Structure 1
Amino acid sequence: MISGLHASPIFITFYSLGFALSGLFFSQLMGSLTDRGYPVKQLFIISVLALFLAGLAFSFCHRPVEALVIGIFLMGPGNASIPLLLSMIRKHSLTSGLNATRLNTQMRSGVSIVWIAGPALAFVFADKFGFTFNFLASALLSAMTLLASQLLLPKSKKKVDTGTAKTAQASKAPITGMIWALGAVMMLANLSNNMYLTIMPLYLVKELNLPASFPGFLLGATAIMEIPVMLAAAHLAGRTGKELLIMIGFLFAAVYYSLLQLATNMTELIVLQFFNGLFFGIFVGLGISIIQDALPERSGFASAFHSNAMRTGMMAGNGIAGLMAQLASFKMTLLVPLLSVCCAALLMLFVNRSHSAKSVQ
């Protein structure tokens, strides 16, 4: 926006806020619609269609205000695509007798692979061919996804007649305090991760005087490591339980953020990525399944709720990172992720004990 549309820095804030709030709204709306019986495949296609139109619209965008409208009314609905996909996976696993946790982690590992390649390719293409090429490429990928969805995904029908009362009852299943607490756990854990992602590169380059390329190497190494960890976590969860395993993941995060305060050279930082990869692989691999298990009758709402909790944590982490960096050093700011993940672990422990006590009763 700054380079191509000459937008002011403050406008980026407005765009980011509008885009984020729109994503929260549409994700929750479409998730609730699936629980009321609307075909999840059709909603998913609508969401991907919004991404396709956004890619085309951005390629012809010439003013910042146009980008804002596209971000709110097209990218917002497009943000619902991943929660809807997670809801489809949940429903498919239940009807087919498959392990939902393993299916979720397999899908999420695919997202991680895209995150490894996608941003790097986007910067390369933007540098060589310009921003318009990137937007048209994203529209093409969305069109391919639309075609594949229409041809490969099973048909889903809206529930009517005898299923209407049951569907309505399921869509009104209460959102208990435990659900909100689990959402807070996901928000706090993702807050810690996004604060770390924001501050860590600045800390390594500005305060430890390490090469500017080194933070990118660390992030890539962690991303590669988290994929097998996700898949392994799905297998282990059946033996240990998801809640216990995710608390162990938070413990790995606390160890990592603590030792990060002591590491001063590249070798130490590379070794520490072992703990970071274990934490994030377990967290993103099991988080969605924990929320869905807590709301088995409302998989659409649960998937959107998890995604929105993660997105809220990301927004809060980025905001707190900027504020703390103004008030303290980057090294001191990296203590906030440690505090946040410890709070997530304690809250998860409380939820787990409360659930166990109710089960006994």
Structure 2
Amino acid sequence: MNARPVTSILFVLLDRFTLISLASAVEPLRMANQLSGQELYRWYTASFDGTPIWASDGVPITPDSSVDAAPSADIIFVCGGTGIQNTVTPELVKWLRAQARYSKRLGGICTGSWVLARAGLLDGFECSVHWEWLAAMQEAFARVTVSPSLFTLDRGRLTSSGGTAPMDMMLHFIGLDHGHELSAAISDMFVYERMRSEQDHQRIPLKHMLGTQQPKLQEIVTLMEANLEEPIDLDHLAEYVQLSRRQLERMFQKYLHCSPSRYYLRLRLIRARQLLKQTPISIVELAVLCGFVSTPHFSKCYREYFGVPPSDERLATHERTVVQKPVINVVRKPMPMSVLEQARSEATFGSFRRLKSSLG
């Protein structure tokens, strides 16, 4: 692996940020250093004024510094959580805008993208946010394209939804920086069965997208989800909820911004992708299970939606899941002085780099 400058990352913690999202973002960086046997990434935490801050689960966190006293960073992530609207201050907005003027790469974790949008730093960009805030962001920031994807990398903006989605974003980011083999090895260390991509969407309960005002639409979508192998004719769906076909079309266009047939196709393709990546089911059988009349038709639809044919997707997934046994080299050290020093005591320290060397 060629030596590259260390990438420094600053995590700005806001009041009631989600601890699991922060951990999901930081741990892949730690493991990248450990497996490579060198310091690829360096990270710091900061609250705006440097004082301790509470996570959403009530755990108090003492940051490394205030934002003004923090070391210079290549990337700045805003870590949000609950009550995000009440944590955005004019001082924070001013500071973030200044970082953008310095051409810093900016990111948002969980609800952190709300803060970037509030500062006007996502205008003209696509971003991800936790699904609870999708509708609110779409309503509040007309110049921002809010995506239901788990994470979004759009030029100098890196945003993810909450929970474990930041791990997928960081694994993808590390793969871009240092190769997919390293990110796959990190995934194996975390017993993370599948690295999800930007094409993977959050599982968003429809009631959070529509509220409680569209029970018929929710009922139709539930029927669609339960009948992917044998799709129900749209006329029959409309009749089931006592609507005309035209009313059904208008309802989907108004609330889901697509036709019912397009929405149904998307559900089937997403299900097909899950089966393709997670099971050994043949593509021929998979097409039948997801309601396609023929394998060529399935392959055409899949390629148009995901950008790759299902055969290539299956091959890439198989290559990523080939497990390489790490080289074991236990090193006993005194009390570590840093995160990297601590990693040296792990059996897997440098194993990825040594494996690459042995493979030539």
Normalising by structure 1, what TM-score? 0.24
Q: Comparing both structures, which one devotes a greater share of its residues to helix?
A: 1
Larger radius of gyration: 2
Normalising by structure 2, what TM-score? 0.24
Q: Comparing both structures, which one devotes a greater share of its residues to strand?
A: 2
